[in-house]
Chain A
Amino acid sequence: MNPQQVLGRFRATGLETSFHGRHIGAQILDGLDGGNWRLKDYEARGGYQALRKILGVDGSEGMTPDQVIAAVKESALRGRGGAGFPTGLKWSFMPRQFPGQKYLVCNSDEGEPGTCKDRDILQFNPHIVIEGMIIAAYAMGITVGYNYIHGEIFQTYERFEEALREARAAGLLGDRILGSTLNFQLHAAHGFGAYICGEETALLESLEGKKGQPRFKPPFPASFGLYGKPTTVNNTETFAAVPWIIRNGAQAYLQCGKPNNGGTKIYSVSGDVERPGNYEIPMGTPFSVLLELAGGVRTGRKLKAVIPGGSSAPVLPASIMMECTMDYDSIAKAGSMLGSGAVIVMDDSRCMVKSLQRLSYFYMHESCGQCTPCREGTGWLSRVVDRIENGQGRQSDMDLLDNVAENIQGRTICALGDAAAMPVRAMIKHFRPEFEYHVANKTCMVPAYV
């Protein structure tokens, strides 16, 4: 075997993570098998019908850009990247009569620990993202777009490039799309290992060929974005949700979720479950149902805690989590956030100090160094958690951690500072006795970290 053949044996097929048939009412991952990602397959699933509908090239009367934005607003689609901002509202912020170039950017820099949904969307259903972006471009009068893809999923970047070539050849991208007056050029770009570039202004800096250091807001990208031009940045899954809304109507989308939380959402479930993977379910589905879809907690173990929205979201103890439904409002009410929908499950064998130690190291490593509270604070947090884990902690350390975290939060240009602080504060809040035990006994409260 040559080296490429050797490596090819270990390539993910998506079978375990997305083609398990354990979704509920799937819209984005529906009908996929890993092989049917090409244009002809997507069209056989009804793909590009939404585009034809808005352009009126299917014999219908078409939709105006305002009607498209109104439909997205009515659907209650909220940003799937982490912030949960209403997508239709964001689209309405773009200046309509701007005389110069405007840009559309897809944020596929999926590096929030726990999250692996955008990879599977782009790898196995790339055209749904392309169609969603064309519809967005039409709605906001944008003629150039970029999809910035996490550098670590390079094969997915190459897959997306291939899908772009198919779409261009079929007249779905470029000038006079499907014979209409719509022009839209779409390109793929890649990162190369910087968590911070998932932050939208850092991503724009990176796309301009610079270090990915976030910009101060305001001005927001809608007025000063890529190359200083009005820009809308949405997450991959957000764009992927759009064709379904246009095809089936905003009300249908809203109704399959719950008020203020439209549609389905793909949750990446990782950690201590029997079947880690991506599960697409309606917004508002009870967490207990999602846990069951993922095969439940590892055999013989009990649920201890869940980080419900990627590593930056505050951890919730099992008792609180089991009462939650999976939507923005329920998780927020419980004191955490839905974030990117990355559900990290921890069972009763897990030491919270050791878990926090790894997360704190991560934020220290990925702080861009621009703001002092984050650059210095993440290192401080990491060192203090380290010493507790290594049996050199002091009983005053828990208050120290909380104090350092408090002084990072809200004092930085971007949300990485908050993202580093919130897990620390939540761990101390919910599992303080475990930290105190660690300091007093120089060892874990749980028998073994297995």
Chain B
Amino acid sequence: MISSESRARFEQEVAKYPADQRQSAVMACLAIAQQEIGYVSAEAEAEIAEFLGMAPMAVHEVTTFYNMYNQRPVGKYKLNVCTNLPCQLRDGGKALQHLERKLGISMGESTKDGLFTLQQCECLGACADSPVLLVNDRTMCSFMTDEKLDQLVDGLRAAEGKA
């Protein structure tokens, strides 16, 4: 069940569009649901479909088309490291490798304690900040040298009491 707080945010998104175009809010509603639940569940899709007056499959099409929607549960912190060419030229790939070593997992995997999921991603639109990564879709971290990557991981582990 999507919370009433998220529902209130859905309403704000729907209000941006003409009354007969509620579907336009689907991108935002899915992102809000993912922020609350951690991924886009089939139940969330069904609720959003009903809220917006869409076929559930039309919502699922959106979930599966856009890279940032999680189609299954991920770690508490999803780390997306950009490895596209401009970042590859400025240690983006090395940053990904460093995180693989630091977390003891390969790209695409999650840590056993459920804290981290590590993924590579396409251009974040922050090429001059490389190495750059996105945490949980909403927070970008720039100029991530190996030292800063360690600070990020250690800091989040400490904040979660898992240092």
CB within 8 Å of B: which residues of A? 1-7, 9-12, 16-17, 101, 110-116, 118-119, 146, 150-155, 187, 189-195, 206-212, 227, 268-272, 276-278, 307, 311, 342, 344-346, 350, 355, 358-359, 362, 365-366, 368
Q: Does B69 contact A (CB under 8 A)?
A: yes
A-B contact pairs, 19 of them (CB 8 A): A1-B159, A2-B159, A7-B152, A9-B155, A10-B141, A17-B128, A111-B123, A112-B123, A115-B125, A151-B31, A154-B140, A191-B66, A193-B69, A209-B26, A269-B128, A311-B123, A344-B89, A355-B85, A362-B85
For B141, the chain A residues whose CB sits under 8 A away are 7, 10-11
**With known contacts A6-B155, A190-B31, A271-B89, A208–B24 Cβ distance under 8 A:** yes
Complex contact A153–B125 (CB within 8 A):
yes
State the majority secondary structure of interface residues on B: mixed
Q: Does B124 contact A (CB under 8 A)?
A: yes
**With known contacts A7-B139, A153-B124, A276-B128, A358–B156 Cβ distance under 8 A:** no
A17 to B28 CA separation, bound complex (whole angstroms) = 29
User: Closest B-chain residue to A212, C-beta based?
Assistant: B65
A339 to B140 CA separation, bound complex (whole angstroms) = 25
Q: Does B71 contact A (CB under 8 A)?
A: no
**Nearest Cβ distance between residue B47 and chain A, in whole angstroms?**
15
A271 to B155 CA separation, bound complex (whole angstroms) = 29
Q: Does B88 contact A (CB under 8 A)?
A: yes
A207 to B25 CA separation, bound complex (whole angstroms) = 8
Complex contact A211–B84 (CB within 8 A):
no
**In residues 16-70 of chain B, which contact A (Cβ within 8 Å)?**
16-18, 21, 23-28, 30-31, 52, 54, 58, 61-62, 65-69
CB within 8 Å of A: which residues of B? 16-18, 21, 23-28, 30-31, 52, 54, 58, 61-62, 65-69, 77, 83-86, 88-90, 121-130, 134-135, 137-144, 148, 151-152, 155-156, 158-160
A162 to B68 CA separation, bound complex (whole angstroms) = 23
**Nearest Cβ distance between residue A209 and chain B, in whole angstroms?**
4
A210 to B52 CA separation, bound complex (whole angstroms) = 13
| Residue from B26, B84, B126 within 8 A of A12 (CB atoms) | B126
Complex contact B125–A118 (CB within 8 A):
yes
Q: How many A-B residue pairs have CB under 8 A?
A: 203
Residue of A1, A270, A359, A362 ringed by the most chain B CB atoms within 10 A: A270
User: Closest A-chain residue to B64, C-beta based?
Assistant: A211
For B135, the chain A residues whose CB sits under 8 A away are 7
For B124, the chain A residues whose CB sits under 8 A away are 152-153
For A116, the chain B residues whose CB sits under 8 A away are 125-129
A187 to B24 CA separation, bound complex (whole angstroms) = 12
Complex contact B27–A10 (CB within 8 A):
no
**Nearest Cβ distance between residue A162 and chain B, in whole angstroms?**
14
For A12, the chain B residues whose CB sits under 8 A away are 126, 129, 140, 142-143
Complex contact B89–A1 (CB within 8 A):
no
| Residue from A6, A113, A187 within 8 A of B85 (CB atoms) | A113
Complex contact A276–B85 (CB within 8 A):
no
For A189, the chain B residues whose CB sits under 8 A away are 16, 24, 27-28
Complex contact B125–A211 (CB within 8 A):
no
A372 to B61 CA separation, bound complex (whole angstroms) = 19
Residue of B16, B58, B83 ringed by the most chain A CB atoms within 10 A: B16
| Residue from B61, B128, B134, B143 within 8 A of A268 (CB atoms) | B128
For B143, the chain A residues whose CB sits under 8 A away are 10, 12, 16
For A362, the chain B residues whose CB sits under 8 A away are 84-85, 122-123
Complex contact A153–B126 (CB within 8 A):
yes
For B24, the chain A residues whose CB sits under 8 A away are 189, 207-209
**With known contacts A7-B152, A116-B125, A192–B27 Cβ distance under 8 A:** yes
A195 to B1 CA separation, bound complex (whole angstroms) = 31
Known: A7-B139, A208-B24, A209-B62. 17 other contacts (CB 8 A): A2-B159, A3-B77, A11-B140, A12-B140, A17-B128, A113-B85, A151-B68, A193-B122, A208-B23, A209-B52, A227-B18, A270-B90, A276-B128, A311-B85, A358-B83, A358-B88, A368-B65
